[in-house]
């Protein structure tokens, strides 16, 4: 094994090139025996996360919620839902994470609230109360119909009638998740105060849910229709989101947030960017040093891209001042082990190009997708269970919980299949997740990939993930270096990462035929091989193979 690179003369900030492990709390570990994951369950499993070699974790919503969208409908941004624990339990989790060298970033859901939030209860009561302008309200058209044609991501119109005010309110998601009016300065101040509250408690940063939906067009103009060749299967994917997303007023707000973060030291914020213009928004929201630290999109969370498409997305960031983040799986899309394998994996499409799998490009093992993800230039987000190679679970209709899935069944299966409980012990009841029936069923196929089965196997997906994470940490070229594409076509992707004298190559055969790369006799030394066959003169890559090499091409 190669020696680690010496530290850089001036070390980059901790988040730049970091790998952050995403925890979907209600499905990670249940400590109190109610079938729902919680803060104490997560705290008890921190050693698993630390042993991977990641730099931190992103914790999804744990705030009080009526649970119509599983925590993303928040009724109190300063509290902890009693089902997940207490504020003291959160402080213990934060302390124990820091003791293990893990940073902790938490979700902030600021584009909307739950209808049960005290702000909305007051706002909807009349047109002249102190919080009357805290949400997006609009009069009906003369015929009583909604103010415009905006569509909800959860289906149907993005407007709901409120008889108390005789107006419609905007909801980009469920009707019970009204959108905040960030054009109103007191709303911005209230959100920044929420940031201060959690920063003062020591969190290392925020993941900003739907950051490009914070503002809307004040004139409430209709969104234009997409051309037929670009339209999706649901109404929300049939229009260009010109006026209910990506508004210019977002930038001053992000700059104000950055000032709050910088006042607390080495903190960070990553914005989630949905929609078709993800690349432009990622660049815009992270430009310079006064906006978000990084942003990620659904660029690699949809249909499987070709190596040439991957290369184009990476090349776009080679000369930008901002910093990207990348993920192959998360809690909103089918797992990559299924979505990019050729299996049927219809799920939730939030502008990433579709949730279905590609059946024409050949099978690629999860180890290769992990190696590719960890070779990318940017901050990396790794979704729980991805280190085990978990496939998408098939949740029977009678056990489905996701409101999007329930609304679109059987056309789409929704998001339940990527949210099933984490398998800790293959032979334990409920795979060691809980002592009682979990909120979603444990997938039978996941038991064989449980942590206890993989931990001692040096050839398991878990061991491979640990090895690849170690290499990313050990070689500055992989963590912080520049990226160049040496080759990219329909099947082969050959990347070169470079930081000073540190050079690491990464090659992937994502096609259906064997490929060969010429190697000089004094050329790179193999760091890791996933099915590749290196020799002194060339590198053979069977279909699905991957390889890391130390040294120049």
Q: In this predicted model, what pLDDT tens digit does every residue of 259-273 receive, in sequence order?
A: 999 999 999 999 999
Residues 6+ apart with CB under 8 A from 403: 68, 69, 154, 174, 414
User: Residue 418 is part of a domain; what is its CATH number?
Assistant: 3.20.20.80
Q: What is the pLDDT of residues 396-416, one digit of tens each?
A: 999 999 988 888 888 888 999
Report the pLDDT value the prediction gives residue 356, as an integer from 0 to 100.
44
Is residue 521 over pLDDT 90? no
Is 284 contained in some domain? Answer: yes
Give the separation between CA 217 and CA 78, rounded to whole angstroms.
Answer: 29
Q: What's the rounded mean pLDDT across residues 152-167? A: 96
Is 474 contained in some domain? Answer: no
Same domain, 53 and 97: yes
User: Residue 502 is part of a domain; what is its CATH number?
Assistant: 2.60.40.1180
Overall domain count for the chain: 2
Q: What is the pLDDT of residues 454-490, one digit of tens each?
A: 999 999 999 999 999 999 999 999 999 999 999 999 9
Give the separation between CA 55 and CA 131, rounded to whole angstroms.
Answer: 41
Residue 206: name the closest of 44, 325, 350 by CA.
325
Residue that finishes a domain, picked among 434, 469, 504: 469
Same domain, 264 and 287: yes
Q: What is the pLDDT of residues 318-349, one digit of tens each?
A: 889 999 999 999 999 999 999 998 554 455 54
Report the pLDDT value the prediction gives residue 342, as an integer from 0 to 100.
59
Same domain, 345 and 414: yes
Same domain, 509 and 444: no
Alpha helices in 124-206 (DSSP H): 185-200
pTM of the model: 0.94
Is 121 contained in some domain? Answer: no
Is 225 contained in some domain? Answer: yes
Pairing of strands 502-509, 546-550: antiparallel
User: Which structural domain range is residue 64 located in?
Assistant: 19-115+185-469
Report the pLDDT value the prediction gives residue 536, as an integer from 0 to 100.
83
Give the separation between CA 418 and CA 333, rounded to whole angstroms.
Answer: 7
Residue 242: name the closest of 175, 150, 111 by CA.
150
**CB-based burial label for 131 (10 Å; 0-12, 13-18, 19+):** buried
> SS3 for 245?
coil
C-alpha distances in Å from residue 412, one per residue of 198, 297, 327, 376: 37, 21, 22, 31
Residues 6+ apart with CB under 8 A from 453: 426, 460
Residue that finishes a domain, picked among 435, 469, 503: 469
> SS3 for 292?
coil
């Amino acid at each position: 094994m190669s020696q680690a690179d010496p530290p850089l003369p001036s070390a980059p900030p901790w988040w730049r090139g970091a790998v952050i492990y995403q925890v979907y709390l209600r499905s990670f570990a249940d400590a109190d025996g109610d079938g729902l994951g919680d803060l104490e369950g997560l705290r008890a499993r921190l050693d698993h996360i630390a042993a991977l070699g990641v730099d931190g974790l992103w914790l999804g919503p744990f705030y009080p919620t009526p649970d119509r969208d599983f925590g993303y409908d928040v009724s109190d941004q300063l509290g902890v839902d009693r089902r997940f624990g207490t504020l003291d339990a959160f402080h213990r989790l934060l302390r124990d994470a820091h003791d293990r060298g893990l940073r902790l970033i938490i979700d902030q859901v600021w584009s909307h609230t739950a209808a049960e939030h005290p702000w909305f209860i007051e706002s909807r009561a009349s047109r002249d109360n102190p919080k009357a302008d805290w949400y997006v309200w609009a009069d009906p058209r003369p015929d009583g119909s909604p103010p415009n044609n905006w569509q909800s991501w959860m289906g149907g119109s993005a407007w709901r009638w409120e008889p108390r005010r005789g107006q419609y309110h905007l909801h980009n998601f469920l009707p019970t998740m009204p959108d905040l009016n960030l054009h109103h300065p007191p709303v911005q101040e209230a959100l920044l105060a929420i940031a201060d509250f959690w920063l003062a408690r020591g969190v290392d940063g925020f993941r900003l849910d739907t950051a490009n939906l914070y503002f809307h067009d004040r004139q409430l103009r209709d969104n234009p229709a997409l051309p037929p060749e670009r339209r999706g299967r649901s109404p929300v994917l049939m229009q260009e989101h010109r006026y209910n997303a990506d508004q210019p007023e977002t930038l001053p707000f992000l700059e104000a947030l950055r000032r709050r973060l910088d006042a607390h030291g080495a903190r960070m914020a990553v914005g989630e960017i949905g929609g078709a213009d993800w690349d432009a928004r990622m660049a815009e929201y992270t430009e310079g040093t006064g906006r978000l630290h990084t942003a990620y999109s659904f660029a690699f969370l949809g249909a499987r891209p070709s190596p040439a498409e991957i290369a184009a997305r990476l090349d776009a960031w080679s000369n930008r001042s901002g910093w990207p983040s990348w993920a192959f799986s998360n809690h909103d899309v089918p797992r990559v082990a299924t979505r990019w394998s050729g299996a049927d994996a219809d799920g939730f499409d939030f502008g990433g190009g579709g949730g279905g799998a590609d059946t024409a490009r050949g099978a690629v093992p999860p180890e290769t997708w992990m190696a590719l993800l960890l070779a990318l230039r940017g901050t990396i987000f790794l979704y729980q269970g991805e280190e085990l190679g978990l496939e998408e679970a098939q949740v029977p209709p009678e056990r489905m919980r996701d409101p999007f899935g329930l609304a679109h069944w059987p056309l789409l299966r929704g998001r339940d299949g990527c949210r099933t409980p984490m398998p800790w012990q293959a032979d334990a009841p409920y795979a060691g997740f809980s002592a009682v029936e979990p909120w979603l069923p444990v997938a039978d196929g996941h038991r064989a990939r449980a942590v206890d089965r993989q931990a001692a196997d040096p050839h398991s997906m878990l061991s491979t993930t640990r090895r690849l994470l170690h290499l990313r940490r050990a070689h500055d070229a992989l963590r912080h270096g520049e990226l160049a594409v040496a080759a990219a076509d329909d099947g082969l992707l050959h990347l070169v990462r470079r930081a000073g004298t540190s050079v690491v190559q990464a090659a992937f055969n994502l096609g259906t035929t064997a490929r060969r790369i010429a190697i000089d006799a004094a050329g790179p030394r193999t760091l890791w091989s996933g099915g590749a066959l290196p020799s002194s003169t060339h590198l053979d890559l069977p279909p699905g193979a991957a390889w890391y090499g130390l040294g120049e091409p």
